Amino acid sequence: MEINAVGIMGSDTTGAGAAELFVKNGFQVRLYDDFKDSLGVALAKISWSLKLAGREELLANIEGVQDLSKFNGADIVIEASARSADERKLFFAKLRPHLDSRCVVAARCSVAPLSELIEYAELPKDRTLGFHFIDPVRSNQLVEVVRTDHTSDEYLEAAAGLLRKIGKTPVITKDNPGQIVERLSRPFILAALRLLDAGKGYPHEIDAAFKEVSGAAMGPFEMADFSGLDTDCAATEAIHAALGSPERLAPSATQLRLVQYGQLGRKATIGFYIYEDGRIVGENPILPNLVKYLGLKKTFKEELFGDLMRPVVEEAKLLAAEIMASEYDIETAVKLGLGWPKGPFAYSRDLAHLLEKKKVSEFDKLDTF
């Protein structure tokens, strides 16, 4: 199957970014949004980008639409915008009559299992798969491609091939809560929050320790602020519930308090850090009110790294067994999705001495210093 005509549902950052990439690589694109103003802004951004690149002639290849019947003839329809379950059910019910018999449906698929959507939205099982674009969409190479037991190999390979043509690296994963990137982000950020609550460092100290030892560009608190604490907290709650509420993935009360205060990270100019023009210019001054022993127990960077990486490695092993994923796919998804120079399995081999479990002393168990 060859894909030439692309429909995209939603002109948010993900939808507009994906639309631009498809247009720049020679595809015919129709971009849909319920809101005319949002659609106009997205098209203006794409137009500006094409003009700056000296490729204005490609503007003829994209059309903004507000009528789902315009998706007639599309080879693939990609769901970009986040919606509630009820909104998705209603939306796909309107879309179904306009899908050709061989049109692939690529549903937005980052946290919630794809199989649930297929059932309540009554989508064609063999032609429906999941796409999880990683922000920033225009520059991050990774797209997780989610399959169920019913997904046809023909449509799956066509979708993966399409992504390669726009410069993406597709990693095919079996449907599960959180897929690979979101699933493994949970133990990483939760481990950082446990270290914070235990008084083993301020956010900047924990971030710095991880970045220095791992070589990664961002630490866990920077990563959570970048994603948005509300988004991150919701992902944790959803994955925790979908997996049967295991204690290791229980949501953090500290993070939830920040969300309740509206301190959501970079987009709100304050989260774990304070931001100005997108740059960190300080640490949140209310943290001492939320964390009893904030930063009182100085901890070596090697210990902090071990406490952060150990649960990620353990979760990666569980995930590999659950979905029969290869080590290579998990390593690729983590390196591209999280921006790490190595994946969890490589760290567990190369820095094994740092991941050995430390014996917990009676002092560590005390709730006082």
Is 290 exposed, middle or buried (CB count within 10 Å of its CB: 0-12, 13-18, 19+)?
middle
Verify that 107 and 204 share a domain, yes or no.
no
Q: Which of 138, 76, 72 is nearest to 106 (CA)?
A: 76
- Reported as a pLDDT band with limits 50, 70 and 90, residue 366 is low
Q: pLDDT by residue (tens digit) across 276-320?
A: 999 999 999 999 999 999 999 989 999 999 999 999 999 999 999
What is the token pair recorded at 14?
């993900």
Task: Compute the half-sphere exposure of residue 355: CA atoms within 13 Å on the CB side of its CA.
Answer: 17
**Three-state secondary-structure class, residue 132:** strand
**Domain range holding 77?**
5-174
Q: Which of 145, 192, 186 is nearest to 318 (CA)?
A: 186
- 155 touches 1 (CB < 8 A): yes
Number of domains into which the chain is organized:
2
Verify that 161 and 301 share a domain, yes or no.
no
pLDDT at 350: 97
The C-alpha atoms of residue 326 and residue 113 are separated, in whole angstroms, by: 20
Verify that 167 and 315 share a domain, yes or no.
no
Verify that 216 and 134 share a domain, yes or no.
no
Question: What integer best gives the mean pLDDT of the chain?
Answer: 95
Verify that 193 and 232 share a domain, yes or no.
yes
Verify that 96 and 129 share a domain, yes or no.
yes
Out of 115, 139, 174, a domain closes at 174
- pLDDT exceeds cutoff 90 at 239: yes
Instruction: Tell me how crowded residue 287 is: count the other CB atoms within 10 A of its CB.
Output: 18
Verify that 121 and 253 share a domain, yes or no.
no
Verify that 40 and 149 share a domain, yes or no.
yes
User: What CATH number is associated with residue 254?
Assistant: 1.10.1040.50
Domain presence at residue 288: yes
- pLDDT exceeds cutoff 80 at 368: no
Domain presence at residue 365: no
Domain presence at residue 222: yes
Q: pLDDT by residue (tens digit) across 133-163?
A: 999 999 999 999 999 999 999 999 999 999 9
Domain presence at residue 70: yes
pLDDT at 188: 98
Verify that 221 and 143 share a domain, yes or no.
no
Verify that 146 and 261 share a domain, yes or no.
no
User: What CATH number is associated with residue 99?
Assistant: 3.40.50.720
Verify that 312 and 194 share a domain, yes or no.
yes
Out of 131, 151, 174, a domain closes at 174
Domain presence at residue 360: no
Q: pLDDT by residue (tens digit) across 18-58?
A: 999 999 999 999 999 999 999 999 999 999 999 999 999 99
- Reported as a pLDDT band with limits 50, 70 and 90, residue 363 is low
Q: pLDDT by residue (tens digit) across 336-360?
A: 999 999 999 999 999 999 999 876 6
pLDDT at 82: 86
- pLDDT exceeds cutoff 60 at 361: no
- Reported as a pLDDT band with limits 50, 70 and 90, residue 324 is confident
pLDDT at 178: 95
Out of 129, 152, 174, a domain closes at 174
